[in-house]
Amino acid sequence: DAKTTQPTSMDCAEGRAANLPCNHSTISGNEYVYWYRQIHSQGPQYIIHGLKNNETNEMASLIITEDRKSSTLILPHATLRDTAVYYCIVKRDSGNTPLVFGKGTRLSVIA
Amino acid sequence: DSGVTQTPKHLITATGQRVTLRCSPRSGDLSVYWYQQSLDQGLQFLIQYYNGEERAKGNILERFSAQQFPDLHSELNLSSLELGDSALYFCASSVSPRYEQYFGPGTRLTVT
């Protein structure tokens, strides 16, 4: 699976959009981009995933560049409860490939 | 609440002992995964089961074993415990290996 590069940490003001970037320049055509987050020591939480089209759900939006070498997770109106470590993971969607977690981005939402 | 349950929440035991961690997947999910999270190693995949069969193995030690039962719950057995095995152990489940995984709250294991 392709490796990902994320900033170590980011701050965001409460109520503003949080834009978390991820680089995955070696991504293959059959690899998806997944985002998970982990709040303190809780179990990781699935957020969203996509292949090449932009995706949106009730939690976030995922913007994938046309060349698929990078993506951005957008939390439209960040709250204090969004403070967490966010993981960008590239994974083949062909079955028995595990999630490989890197160090992620520690997002701090500030009041 | 992801729908994945894990017991116990906390476990304190001594070196050399053996423990069993239990996971119940979300209703309808056939795949179960185990992960270990320690301070120095981060979140690491251990093993995956699908409908009772082992499907993938990660960095799982030989002292560790797992199984998935006919009712789809899974158990992770850790034996000859060492101090370095102290970690959070997460179970996750998915409908099938092609779908997103949902994680349980974890079991915090402390080996003294």
The reply to whether residue B2 touches residue A43, judged by beta carbons under 8 angstroms, is: yes
State chain B's mean pLDDT as an integer.
95
Cα separations (Å) of B81 from A102, B36, B40, B66, B107? 26, 14, 18, 15, 15
Mean pLDDT over B45-53 rounds to 95
Q: Which residue of B has its CA nearest to A98?
A: B45
- Residue A76's contacts (CB-CB under 8 Å, 6 or more residues apart) are A17, A60, A61
Length of chain B in residues, anyone? 112
What is the reported pLDDT for A2?
66
> How many Å lie between the alpha carbon of A15 and the closest alpha carbon of chain B?
24
State pLDDT tens for residues B50-93: 999 999 999 899 999 999 999 999 999 999 999 999 999 999 99
Longest dimension (CA), chain B: 39
A17 close to B (CB below 8 A): no
Residue A52, token pair as written in the block: 């090449």
Whether B42 shows a pLDDT value over 90: the answer reads no
Residue B39, token pair as written in the block: 């301070």
State pLDDT tens for residues A32-91: 999 999 999 899 999 999 999 899 999 999 999 999 999 999 999 999 999 999 999 999
The reply to whether residue A42 touches residue B102, judged by beta carbons under 8 angstroms, is: no
